């Protein structure tokens, strides 16, 4: 993340670094992870591409994020699958993501409750893009980091325009298909 070009860094309520497809071979296996692809096949149920893959850091003191969806059920880009890879442990005190169960199939109410996705570093959350979710406040003394991405029918980012020759040289056919290169 320290080597990211300033154009790839966005700081708002969290710090987001884009273009993790080109960050090195350590990240190549993340977007072709078989359980993630299986979930995409089941939820999207038609050909799909990787839309984006970025890193996100919640610094200490980051406030709670409002619940939101990535895509409304009625949106033309629906369905979409999101994934969050826990670089650090997700805990109730460091900004773990919370979800409203079943909210991708109906409009949620306050009675639906929330479930926090806590887990050790290296865990992955795979979720329906129409599921209400948002991070909790980071009340800890350390940043909470993750790598996140989305899959849908069409790539939301022009990955081809950003593709580095060294990335193209090292990735296989499945990765090329998912990146649309």
Cα 46 versus chain centre, distance: 20
Asked if 149 contacts 5 with a C-beta cutoff of 8 angstroms, the reply is no
- The pTM of this model reads 0.89
pLDDT digits (tens, 9 = 90+) for 10-24: 888 788 888 888 888
pLDDT digits (tens, 9 = 90+) for 54-82: 999 999 999 999 888 887 776 666 678 99
Residue 68 within any structural domain of the chain: yes
Q: Which domain holds residue 149?
A: 6-179
Q: Number of folded domains in the chain?
A: 1
Q: Which two tokens stand for residue 131?
A: 């599921």
Q: How confident is the model at residue 162 (pLDDT cuts 50, 70, 90)?
A: confident
Residue 1 within any structural domain of the chain: no
Looking up residue 174, the CATH number of its domain turns out to be 2.60.120.620
Residue 105 within any structural domain of the chain: yes
Residue 140 within any structural domain of the chain: yes
Dmax over CA atoms of the chain, in Å, equals: 51
Residue 144 three-state SS? strand
Residue 117 within any structural domain of the chain: yes
């Amino acid at each position: 993340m320290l080597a990211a070009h300033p154009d790839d860094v966005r700081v708002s309520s969290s710090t987001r670094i884009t273009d993790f497809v080109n960050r090195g071979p350590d990240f190549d296996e993340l977007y072709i992870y078989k359980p993630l692809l299986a979930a995409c096949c089941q939820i999207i149920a038609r050909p799909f591409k990787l839309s984006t893959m970025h890193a996100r850091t919640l610094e200490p003191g980051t406030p709670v994020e409002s619940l939101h969806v990535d895509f409304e059920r009625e949106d033309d880009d629906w369905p979409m699958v999101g994934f969050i890879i826990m670089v650090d442990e997700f805990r109730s005190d460091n900004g773990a993501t919370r979800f409203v169960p079943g909210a991708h199939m109906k409009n949620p109410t306050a009675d639906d409750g929330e479930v926090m996705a806590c887990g050790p570093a290296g865990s992955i959350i795979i979720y329906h893009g129409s599921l209400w979710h948002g991070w909790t406040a980071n009340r800890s003394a350390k940043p909470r980091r993750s790598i996140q991405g989305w899959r849908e029918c069409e790539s939301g980012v022009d990955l081809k325009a950003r593709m580095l020759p060294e990335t193209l040289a090292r990735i296989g056919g499945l990765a090329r298909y998912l990146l649309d290169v």
